Amino acid sequence: MITIEAYTEAVRDHLKKHSECLIDEIKKTLQFPFDEKVELVDFTAFVQPYELSITMFSMERSGNEVFPEEGSGLFAGSCEVLEDAEYYCVPDEDRDEFEAFSEQNSEALSKIETEEVTAWFASCWNEAGGSRTRLPAYFSFHDCDPCFDLHKGKWISDGDKWYS
């Protein structure tokens, strides 16, 4: 029988499998010589059913992405820090039961995914030394309003990210 608790634990376990890779990639981004026009970094999760990718975007406070100037040797633009990472797996023999469970609990499962993925990313960010970076840094889900301020460890509105 599938339960909320079992689902939460399974998501945590699947995410942990990707921690080392994510920490290594975050460490790489912390070494980038950022263009002076970069005012913040925005890590955005792109979620598909039971899989996610995370891209870091270099941004201006106005909400525009900063793009690299040819030959400058400075970083601007974006880079993928995690590609197609599975965060849940439905065994074939449980597919029908899980679909029914998912339909009945879709709001709860979405909340669990948001909370677990964010906590996991923030933990990896901190382990990689992200708190030492001078640039404001945020984590969010593509096309969702709230974002997580990685330095302050709290949720803020997306608008506050651009104007704080």
pLDDT at 164: 63
- Give the span between the Cα atoms of 70 and 143, in whole angstroms: 30
pLDDT at 49: 87
Helix axes 95-104, 106-127, angle to 10 degrees: 100
Task: Going from the first residue of the chain to its last (164 residues), give the mean pLDDT of each consecutive group of 10, the final group possibly shorter.
Answer: 93 97 97 95 94 97 91 93 95 91 95 96 98 94 93 93 78
Tokens 């651009």 appear where? 162
User: N- to C-terminal Cα distance for the chain?
Assistant: 46
Q: DSSP class of residue 64?
A: P
CB count, 10 Å around CB of 83?
Answer: 14
